[in-house]
Amino acid sequence: MLSVQKVSGGYSGETVLTDISFEVERGELFGILGPNGSGKTTLLKMLSGILPIQQGEILIRGKRIQEYVVKQLAQIVAVLSQHSSQSFSYNVRETVSLGRYAHQKGWFQSWSKEDEEIVQRVMNQTGISPFQNKNIQELSGGEKQRVFLAQALAQEPEILLLDEPTNHLDLSYQKELLDLLKQWTSENGLTVISIFHDLNLAGLYCDRLLLLEKGTININHIPNEVLREERIREVYHTDIQKHPHPKVAAPQMVLLPEVNREVNHYVINESMLIVSNEIIELQTPTPLRTMSSGVIGSGTGWHHTFVNRHVHKNYDCSDHRLEMASFLRSKGFEPSETVGMMTAVVLEDVVYQRFEQSDFSLFVVVTAGVGNAIDASKSELHSYEMTPGTINTWVFVSGELTEEAFIQSIMTATEAKVKAIHDLKVLDSVTGTIATGTSTDSILIAATQTGKVLEYAGTITPLGKLISKAVYQCTTEAIKKSQKRKQP
């Protein structure tokens, strides 16, 4: 559809872009990225024919861009520029109608039924019909943006060039606009070439990205390849981190603000723990990075309050998340900042201990009830039932863990727990075999993310060794306490 071949260009003798080559296929949503001044708008101006190229070729549908007359080009290429301005004070409908100019025939311009239908359709699609009679000067920035998009769409182009189309748009219109563009590319074969400043939107919607750096191409590839941490850090000169999008397979980048890095290093210990009959509570001065399977705050996140709540063994678990959230609120905790677990164990049987290494430390807290002990190798013999007889394990690390270390910490802690149950010969009451856990065990790994960087937590790494020892000892002691209580 569009072919850019060894193009150089700029303004009055000054070359801004050098040796640019890329192709865009029909139906692609193609993003142009780059820092301020890297040449994005200059490139877009050359693609739209506004700015003549100094060297190389731009081919549109196989024909050199210079060979098109203006009206011909306007039937193929529409442009939504960053600062669309309107010198006359047209109303919205008239402004959109101007987009049909390229399709008017002959000397005496005729407005057809088809023209009218197209204008109405694009106004509906961009949500501007309700104010179609308003003067363009009376609109908000976002509304104006949508009007100029409708104007470009009324042109019924094959290629749509956009300079930061989401500029001025609020969240819901950003999403609507990009969903609409995506839909047009896939259903109608529209080719969209758009400048983006928001790397996340670009990563989410574009098929391919072209990254410009000081007037040359750094890379032209799929989003996952272009949006690599090292590359973006280098090109934009700023610290960022890449994360997977939680719902779709698209890369997302987050900025790392300087302010958060000046956190004081502190050690988590028993002075932060409060044990009552109703709850075990631990609060930290700053939020900890967490990975957990709690009733509240599960998954990964940042939390500074940790609650293990006693419930009766006949507790109705049908709507436990909602009930737990209102319980936490009633106690003055904010659920969104809390990891909350439940247990039927008598809370004074909790076992906790601090374990130290020269440059990092652990604080482990375990409550263990084994009434619902299950042998995982035979769990299909059990019916599914959520009951609160459970082993809740909290592992606090005063140190900085990698994502890998978080996952390995969970594995290592689980292996140590299984071994404790095994050595105490806790039986699965249904199968009569040695259990491996209970049906509702929960785990929390929480780290200060300051101090020593702990890359791994497999069983024989320094962190893994300490977790193994701590969880094995605390779980063994906690199970013994709970078993003792059960004896007559």
Ligand X SMILES: Nc1ncnc2c1ncn2[C@@H]1O[C@H](COP(=O)(O)OP(=O)(O)OP(=O)(O)O)[C@@H](O)[C@H]1O
User: Should residue 399 be labelled a site residue for ligand X when binding is judged by CB under 6 A?
Assistant: no
Count of residues that bind ligand X according to CB under 6 A: 10
Task: Extract the tokens encoding 150.
Answer: 């409708």
Task: Give the residue among 150, 173, 168 at the shortest CA–CA distance from 160.
Answer: 150
Q: Are 445 and 291 in contact (CB under 8 A)?
A: yes
Choices 35-43, 136-144, 401-409, 424-432; region in contact with ligand X by CB under 6 A: 35-43
CA distance 303 to 288: 5
Return d(Cα 402, Cα 334) in angstroms, integer: 27
Q: How far is the CB of 245 from ligand X (least distance, A)?
A: 24
* 16 forms part of the interface with ligand X (CB under 6 A): yes
Nearer to ligand X, 32 or 397 (CB): 32
Nearer to ligand X, 195 or 341 (CB): 195
Contact between 60 and 48 under an 8 Å Cβ cutoff? The reply is no
The residue assigned the tokens 């019924």 is: 156
The DSSP bridge partners found for residue 8 are 55
CA distance 433 to 150: 70
Q: Least distance from C-beta 40 to ligand X, angstroms?
A: 4
Q: Are 473 and 424 in contact (CB under 8 A)?
A: no
Q: Which is nearer to ligand X, 46 or 401 (CB)?
A: 46
CB nearer to ligand X: pick between 11 and 302: 11
Q: How far is CA 156 from CA 69, 73, 96, 114, 456, in A?
A: 17, 12, 12, 12, 56
Among 9, 31, 34, 340, binds ligand X (CB under 6 A): 34
Q: Which stretch binds ligand X (CB under 6 A): 31-39, 140-148, 351-359, 430-438?
A: 31-39
DSSP H or E run through 307 = strand 299-310
CB of 167 to ligand X, least distance (A): 10
Applying CB under 6 A, which part among 37-45, 89-97, 153-161, 413-421 lies near ligand X? Answer: 37-45
Residue 361 found at the interface with ligand X (CB under 6 A): no
CB of 80 to ligand X, least distance (A): 14
Q: How many Å separate Cα 452 from the centre of its chain? A: 27
Q: How far is the CB of 17 from ligand X (least distance, A)?
A: 8
Stretch that binds ligand X, among 32-40, 278-286, 380-388, 464-472 (CB under 6 A): 32-40
What tokens appear for 55 in the block?
């060297």
Q: Which stretch binds ligand X (CB under 6 A): 34-42, 140-148, 171-179, 376-384?
A: 34-42
> Of 38 and 440, which has the nearer Cβ to ligand X?
38
| Contact flag: residue 218 with ligand X (CB under 6 A) | no
Considering only residues 300 to 339 of the shown chain, the ones binding ligand X according to CB under 6 A are none
Query: Mask: binding to ligand X, 39-68, rule CB under 6 A, as x and -?
Result: xxxx--------------------------
Residue in 6, 21, 26, 37 binding ligand X, rule: CB under 6 A? 37
Instruction: Give me the least distance between CB of 211 and ligand X, in Å please.
Output: 11
Window of 29-37, 64-72, 262-270, 336-344 that interacts with ligand X by CB under 6 A: 29-37
Nearest approach, Cβ of 342 to ligand X (angstroms)?
52
Do 53 and 20 touch, CB atoms closer than 8 A? no
Residue 91 is given by DSSP the state: B
Closest among 314, 262, 301, 308 to 283, alpha carbons compared: 308
CB 90 within 8 A of CB 136: yes
Picking from 220, 196, 200, the residue whose alpha carbon sits closest to that of residue 210 is 220
Comparison of 16 and 226: residue with beta carbon closer to ligand X: 16
Where does residue 28 fall: left (phi above 0), alpha (psi -120 to 50 degrees), or beta otherwise? Answer: beta
| Of residues 148 and 472, the one with the C-beta less far from ligand X | 148
Minimum Å distance from CB 32 to ligand X? 8
Proportion of the chain in helix, strand, coil states, percent, rounded to 5: 35, 30, 35
To ligand X, the closest distance from the beta carbon of 202 in angstroms equals: 13
Q: Which is nearer to ligand X, 42 or 343 (CB)?
A: 42
Q: How far is the CB of 219 from ligand X (least distance, A)?
A: 16
Radius of gyration of the chain (CA): 31
Does 11 help bind ligand X (rule: CB under 6 A)?
Answer: yes
Burial of 144 (0-12, 13-18, 19+ CB in 10 A): buried
At 169, which amino acid appears?
L
Q: Which residues contact ligand X (rule: CB under 6 A)?
A: 11, 16, 34, 36-42
